[in-house]
Amino acid sequence: MKRIIVTGGLGQIGSELVPFLRDKYGRENVIVADIRAPENVEDVEPFITLDVRDEEKIIKVIKEYNVDTIYHLAAILSARGEQNPQLAFNVNIVGMHNILEAGRKTNIERIMVPSSIAAFGPETPKDNTPNDTVLKPRTMYGVSKVTGELLALYYWEKYGLDVRGVRYPGIISWKAPPGGGTTDYAVEIFYYALKGEKYTCFLREDATLPMMYMPDAIKAITMLAEAPSDNLVHRADFNIAAMSFSPKELVEEIRKYVDFEVEYKPDYRQKIADSWPRSIDDSAARKEWGWNPDYDMASMVKDMVKNLKKKLGL
């Protein structure tokens, strides 16, 4: 029987990963942990308040709940990280190290931890970016993601601790808001479009980035969690791809459903976007654990519009 803890479980991805895991393993076997309190604790119980900067508490919780698997989602994302790099270092790098140490000391069976396309930098090839390539990010978030990937490999080879992860592109979803990233525009824009309000985009109209719809993001991390270890050459650094588009292309697709006005006022986040790839080669994930996405831009937009209309009562 699996006993799972999801750190950062109240965030954009946790809000959808937790119900998926609970359907599969039973509500009581999936514990949500986060530094902030949920709006309504009954909705998410079992819930614990946990700061991943506190290794002792992580170990205490693992023992108390008999945890064998950790989905480690707690993080400070790229844009927020550039506003407070010291916080990003502590949560993302010290927090990741704490999770690994706690996992090692308590013989945890598996740790799943997302990396990001933010692991890449300006010297990385921008199109069809290979899995194994130059990793010289210029954001603290990106530095923390490369560090996490390398620590995962180190703990696997040194201690046999099974740590796995994918490099997520920007994730688009309608249930919970994104938490302070460079790709957040691709979620925000839907709310403005559907309410008929003018949207001011913080990226240039031609800023093409790799993106993925939430159902594929959940599919990827849970598929990798179950892949036979012997098939894996990579560990916590799998490229995965689904779609790539620019703000202008997204606007054109949304306008097939609803008309709205957009202006472009690039801010500090444009520089971050400029350092990331436009498209991703995910052949290693396809070969090693059978990855393939279900959604492209057209099917994602159709589903977002349908679900958000319902959510907003439109």
Site residues for ligand AKB per CB under 6 A: 77-78, 116-118, 141, 170, 181-183
Closest CA to 176 of 42, 7, 8, 13: 13
> How near is the Cβ of 114 to ligand AKB at its closest, in Å?
8
d(CA 301, CA 288): 29
Closest CA to 162 of 222, 103, 85: 103
Helix, strand, coil tally for the chain in percent (to 5): 45, 15, 40
Q: Tell me: does residue 151 bind ligand NAD (CB under 6 A).
A: no
Q: Is 264 a catalytic residue?
A: no
Q: Tell me: does residue 171 bind ligand NAD (CB under 6 A).
A: yes
d(CA 10, CA 33): 8
Partner whose footprint covers residue 182, from ligand NAD, ligand AKB, none (CB < 5 to 8 Å by kind): ligand AKB
Closest CA to 167 of 20, 76, 69, 277: 277
Partner whose footprint covers residue 13, from ligand NAD, ligand AKB, none (CB < 5 to 8 Å by kind): ligand NAD
> How near is the Cβ of 181 to ligand AKB at its closest, in Å?
2
> How near is the Cβ of 118 to ligand AKB at its closest, in Å?
5
Please state the length of the chain. 314
Q: How many CB atoms lie within 10 A of CB 54?
A: 16
Q: Which is nearer to ligand NAD, 213 or 260 (CB)?
A: 213
Q: Tell me: does residue 308 bind ligand NAD (CB under 6 A).
A: no
Instruction: List the catalytic residue out of 141, 155, 168, 199.
Output: 141
Please give the full DSSP string across 224-247, using - where no structure is assigned. Answer: HHHS-GGG-S-SS-EE--SEEE-H
Residues serving a catalytic function are: 141
User: Which residues of this chain interact with ligand NAD, rule CB under 6 A?
Assistant: 7-8, 10-14, 34-36, 50-53, 73-75, 77, 91, 95, 114, 116, 168, 170-171, 178-181, 183
